């Protein structure tokens, strides 16, 4: 991608790239408008087809007699603007006009977004002082899903892949179809995100009935409606299926919920996160190892880890973690010398974090004196 400074004359190549980008944005805009109009038209046609006309009406080349039942082939010749003018029994005129107004509003929003994008593109970019043009090259990398990669659904149900097995080892249904993904049911009661269960059931119903489903946020499908759709598709009302273990060939004792769920692979890949440190940089103030992969840092030993080691009774491990492996500068040196000589004894001294605490207390006019034992 090429970034150009605001207010400078653009060369022919930059202008060509700009025109290409504008035409792409306009194409997307026209497609989105087409989708809005076609979906609204489809909804209006669904309301009008099969209904009787209140009064004799002629709109363009299409005429309706009073009491005539509207046919889809007849109304398909009309555009949305004319459709909403037809008065039929059982459908309020305000409903049709409201649908048309909603479509117009969506088109207006899309138009303003298009204008904003084009203006931003033509205006130029904010670049650092002295930089006239900046070229960024973006590279795409293909990564196969592996153990440790993060995945999530649409209900906050995130998690990492724990194991990947051959297709023949996965549980399968009686008709031989294997399961693609297994989710732990313990993830539902703790987070109370029941939406994932309803989505699974609705996905199964949609697949069985070969229909696309839409469930708006405040007007979603009710449980009773999902059950009805499952019944229509010839599935179990509960959404549960008897599965067979792919490894043993024996059926599971309990039936399992099976359906279709939207699962996304997140940009938290184990290959990018794996990290190990032997020796590396230390903080200047605390003398503790830095944190994070970027700094080649160490692993944090927090309060809870300390409590775990205390509870286990691993006193020497804990002492080593809190001194020579962390911020005990003298102890680190002595340990290195001992390892070189082949000595395995631990001889820690005072951690640097204690000296930092003393200095902070002294800055508050509180003096701290260390008393050596036996004196």
Question: What is the SS3 string spanning 299-325?
Answer: CCCCHHHHHHHHHHCCHHHHHHHHCCC
Phi-psi region of 124 (alpha: psi -120 to 50; beta: other; left: phi over 0): left
Strands (E), 206-277: 240-241, 256-257, 264-265
Query: pTM above 0.95?
Result: no
| Spatial CB neighbours of 152, under 8 Å, sequence gap ≥ 6 | 158, 159, 263, 264, 266
237: phi then psi, degrees, rounded to nearest 5:
-60, -30
CA atoms within 13 A on the CB side of 220: 11
- Whether residue 361 contacts residue 368, with contact meaning beta carbons closer than 8 Å, is answered with yes
Beta carbons of 243 and 173 less than 8 angstroms apart:
yes
Q: How far apart are CA 105 and CA 365, in angstroms?
A: 67
CA atoms lying within 13 Å on the CB side of residue 348: 16
Q: Which residues pair with 291 in a beta bridge?
A: 298
Pairing assessment for the beta strands 2-4 and 133-135 based on DSSP bridges: antiparallel
Distance CA 206, CA 226 (A): 9
Go through 99-120 and write b for each residue having 16 or more CB atoms within 10 A of its CB, e for each that does not: bbeebeebbeebeeebeebbee
pLDDT at 374: 66
What pLDDT, on a 0 to 100 scale, did the predictor assign at position 69? 83
Q: Report the candidate in 229, 220, 228 with the shortest Cα–Cα distance to residue 195.
A: 220
- Give the contacts of 228 (CB within 8 A, at least 6 positions apart): none
* Domains, the chain: 2-135 (no CATH), 150-265 (2.40.270.10), 276-363 (3.90.1800)
CA nearest neighbour of 147 among 291, 263, 292, 273? 273
User: Residue-wise pLDDT tens for the chain (375 aa)?
Assistant: 888 887 777 778 888 888 898 999 999 999 999 999 888 888 888 888 888 888 888 887 788 888 888 888 878 778 888 888 888 888 888 888 888 899 999 999 999 999 998 888 888 788 888 888 888 999 998 999 999 999 999 999 999 999 999 999 999 999 999 999 999 999 999 999 999 999 999 999 999 999 998 888 888 899 999 999 999 999 999 999 999 999 999 999 999 999 999 999 999 999 989 999 988 999 999 999 999 898 999 999 999 999 999 999 999 999 999 999 999 999 999 999 999 999 988 899 999 999 999 999 999 999 998 888 765
Kind and range of the H or E run holding 151: strand 150-152
């Amino acid at each position: 991608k090429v970034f150009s400074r605001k207010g400078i004359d653009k060369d022919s190549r930059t202008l060509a790239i700009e025109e290409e980008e504008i035409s792409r944005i306009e194409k997307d805009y026209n497609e989105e408008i087409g989708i809005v109009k076609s979906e609204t038209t489809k909804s209006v046609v669904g309301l009008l087809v099969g209904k009787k006309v209140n009064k004799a009406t002629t709109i363009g080349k299409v005429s309706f007699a009073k009491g005539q039942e509207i046919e889809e082939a007849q109304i398909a010749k009309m555009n949305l603007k004319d459709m909403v003018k037809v008065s039929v029994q059982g459908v309020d005129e305000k409903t049709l006009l409201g649908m048309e107004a909603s479509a117009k509003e969506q088109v207006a929003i899309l138009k303003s977004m298009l204008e904003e994008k084009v203006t931003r593109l033509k205006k130029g970019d904010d670049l650092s002082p002295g930089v006239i043009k900046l070229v960024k090259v973006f590279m795409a990398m293909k990564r196969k899903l592996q153990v440790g990669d993060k995945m999530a659904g649409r209900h906050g149900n995130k998690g990492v892949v724990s194991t990947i097995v051959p297709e023949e080892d996965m549980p399968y249904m009686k008709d031989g179809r294997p399961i693609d993904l297994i989710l732990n049911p313990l993830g539902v009661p703790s987070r109370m995100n029941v939406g994932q269960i309803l989505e699974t059931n609705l996905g199964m119903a949609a697949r069985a009935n070969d229909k696309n489903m839409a469930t708006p946020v405040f007007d979603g499908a009710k449980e009773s409606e999902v059950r009805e759709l499952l019944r229509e598709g010839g599935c179990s009302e509960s959404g549960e299926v008897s599965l067979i273990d792919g490894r043993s060939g024996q059926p599971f004792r309990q039936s399992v919920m099976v359906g279709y769920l939207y699962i996304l692979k997140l940009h938290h890949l184990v290959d990018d996160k794996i990290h190990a440190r032997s020796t590396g940089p230390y903080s200047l103030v605390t003398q503790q190892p830095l944190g994070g992969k970027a700094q080649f840092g160490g692993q944090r030993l927090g309060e809870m880890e300390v409590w775990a080691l205390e509870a286990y009774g691993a006193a020497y491990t804990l002492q080593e973690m809190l001194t020579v492996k962390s911020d005990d500068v003298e102890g680190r040196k002595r340990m290195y010398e001992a390892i070189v000589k082949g000595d395995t004894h631990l001889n820690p001294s005072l951690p640097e974090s204690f000296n930092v605490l003393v200095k902070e207390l002294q800055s508050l006019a509180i003096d701290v004196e260390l008393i050596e034992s036996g004196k």
